[in-house]
Amino acid sequence: MNVVRFWTIDAKEDLLPWLRDVGLVRLNTNDLTITGFECIGDREYAQSWYCRIAREGWERRGKPDEGVGHVRA
């Protein structure tokens, strides 16, 4: 099973719940869209996530409360 995780730069905590059974819907130079299932408690939710790809050396964009951060694979 494919799993996607997004975590903080220091890898101490997850930014979002894990996405499992992941499929790649679309991939471009600067972004991608994935689908899968998010498990919260005893419930599962079908999700589609649009992700911007961070480049090395890019600075964080947006306000701290917008949830914009770096992605590690």
Helix H, strand E, coil C: the string for the chain is CCEECCECCCCCCECCCCEEEEEEEEECCCEEEEEEEEEECCEEEEEEEEEECCCCCCCCCCCHHHCCCCCCC
Can you read off the two tokens belonging to residue 67?
């949830």
Confidence of residue 55 (pLDDT cuts 50, 70, 90): low
Percentage of residues in the chain having pLDDT higher than 70? 74
Cβ–Cβ under 8 Å, residues 47 and 38: yes
pLDDT in tens, 29-51: 888 899 999 988 899 999 998 98
Task: State the pTM of this model.
Answer: 0.58
Please report where in the chains the tokens 């220091």 appear, as a residue. 10
